[in-house]
Structure 1
Amino acid sequence: MRIAIVGCGYVADYYMLTLRNHPNLAVSGAFDRKSDRLREFTTFHKIPAYDSLSALLADTSVEMVLNLTNPGSHYEISRAALESGRHVYSEKPLAMTIEDAEDLVRIAAERGLAITAAPCSILGEAALAAGQAIQNGRLGRVRLAYAEMEDSMVFRERFHDWRSPSGAPWPADDEFAVGCTLEHAGYYLTWLCAFFGPAQEITAFSARLFDQKGVPAPKGGWAGDFSVACLRFADGVVARLTCGLAAPKDRSLHVVGTEGTLTVTDGWNYRSGVWLRDPEGRPMSRIPKLPQAFGRIERYLPGRHWLGERLPLGPNRAVTPGYPSRMDFSRGPAATAEALRAGKPVPMPADFALHITELALVAQDAARFPSPYKPRTAFAPLPIN
């Protein structure tokens, strides 16, 4: 499938880097409203440049638009792409309001087009291994999940010097103005919803803990830099998700069941370790008292969640960025394109992306919504394979 990129900023380089993993995708060209950035990006990657969005949408070779613009532009660009008859894969979130996200899904459905949104980490090997273990009953009946998306005080790091491979600066203004929850919550919301279905209820709290971010603040100040959301799923499963720019880096997931616990060490690594342990969180063994002994020893180990049965991951030699995330960014567009070619349902359908967007918006701006909040969106169960 031929794709075109709109938005040539920081993240666009990571899509181009991982595009080599997916020969079913070919780039017709790219557009960015900043002409200097467009020239740098297209020259670096040796792809054609469009001089306007209209020119891109007039190119009949383009079948899917990758909307990699800043979040405030997602709705406008995705709507234009849909109205021109193109499938859309958008960076997160689908839109900055639930109403706009619903509008995009409506337009896509009316025109028989696919629209979905990042992140696609649910397609990674670690997520698939975790989901299959849960689905196969390795944990018994799941009761609880703890998901962490803590990225530490990045505003105290030398982010002014951060550049993507083609030279785009790290988008500090967007990161701090949009908020860490809208930027990061989706990485585990997609996992939780894929594992347990639509959230039936969410109770959230958010706050802004630090006003000084190292760049001039917009009118009204920065978005919240901490959130905690408690979600209730069908069958009584409860999950707690935290996102923040304060606590030390922690991107782990712990799922607790009646017969065992499961830990993923890093949700930003498609090949993260996935560990199965007993219901009390200790390594399992057929040797009596050995789990208790391990439990006492691991109190003094820095990798305390790295003991247990390590689940095998499916084979994959995909090229991924080395830092800060080991994710195959183009896997989402490629999987969408392959499903469309085969006439099958796309792996992350529009109603799933819409539900994730709604939950992330509620968690980011918790004070704007009733608590507990009952989502108005839902989706059919997703296959985990």
Structure 2
Amino acid sequence: MTTVDEQHGADASAMRRALELAELGPARGVNPRVGCVVLSPAGEILAEGWHRGAGTAHAEVDALSKLAPGAARGATAVVTLEPCNHTGRTGPCAVALVEAGVARVVYAVADPGDHSSGGADRLRAAGVEVVPGVLADEVEAMLDDWLFAARRHRPRVIVKWAASLDGRAAAADGTSQWITGAGARADVHRRRSAADAIAVGTGTVLADDPSLTARDDRGHLLEAQPVPVVFGHRAVPADAAVRRHPNPPIFPTGDDLAADLEELQRRGIRSLFVEGGPTLASALLAADLVDELLVYVAPALLGGPRLAVGDLGIPTIADARRFRFAAVERLGDDVLLVAHPTTHPGGN
């Protein structure tokens, strides 16, 4: 007979394999990466599956589809995310597992979706044994951005700026290229590529005509490109560089930043990398919608009025927005400060 420790070990081993399968799926988009391993009552792998993107079979159904009818009866399904409980482009995975005769379901992380959660309860109601939380930390880390966006109903907002030692983002005449050196700029492009979207305001587009692409040190496009997002009402010229971006740009008005972010999340954007001048960054900070600051500091003094951040509506030191340093990195002559809010931002 299998002991409790042996069962836990078998569950964890199968979950690690399910994690490997999940990572085969697309890292961007509306849907999470999910992997599934179906085990026989004796603990042997019967089938494996993973989710390949919106409109395709979910991981559980993908795995079950590889088995003959009745072959999953009495089996254990090990899934990285709680089986869904709703009908979208595909049916509820919880129902598919019950109908296949699966006796036991092991999952790592609960589904945070308003419409898709509840699969575990449906399975239990059908008499299926449910074991949650196996390797939860590892799966949370893999699904970090997707879980954040699903739970908060908005992307993770990362605000970046480069500044001199005295906090200036540009000289008095408006010139800002380049405050920081090549190492800092390369780090910015790497982080751009890792984000789902990159945002600026129309003022930045009209003043600087940025391409909003992620490039290597030779100026070549990196494989992963963020979706360009331009906030504001002013018209963007037809020949603007952003309109030649590999991904079609999105143009929210910026009148209601929380609503704009919710719409971006509905479009599958999980992380938003905010660049440009101080106007957009200041508005997001004032609205408590910033989850991470990336501040590249150059050992230079500029003086003058061109501050990296504008008015945040803070009248006194007691009301200062407090952050904690998560990392400090040396990049050539420059320093990168990574900071997170001491209390989690509000705003959905």
Superposition TM-score, scaled by structure 2 size: 0.28
**Greater relative contact order (CA < 8 Å, ≥ 6 in sequence):** 1
Based on CA coordinates, which of the two structures has the bigger radius of gyration? 2
Superposition TM-score, scaled by structure 1 size: 0.26
Higher helix proportion: 1
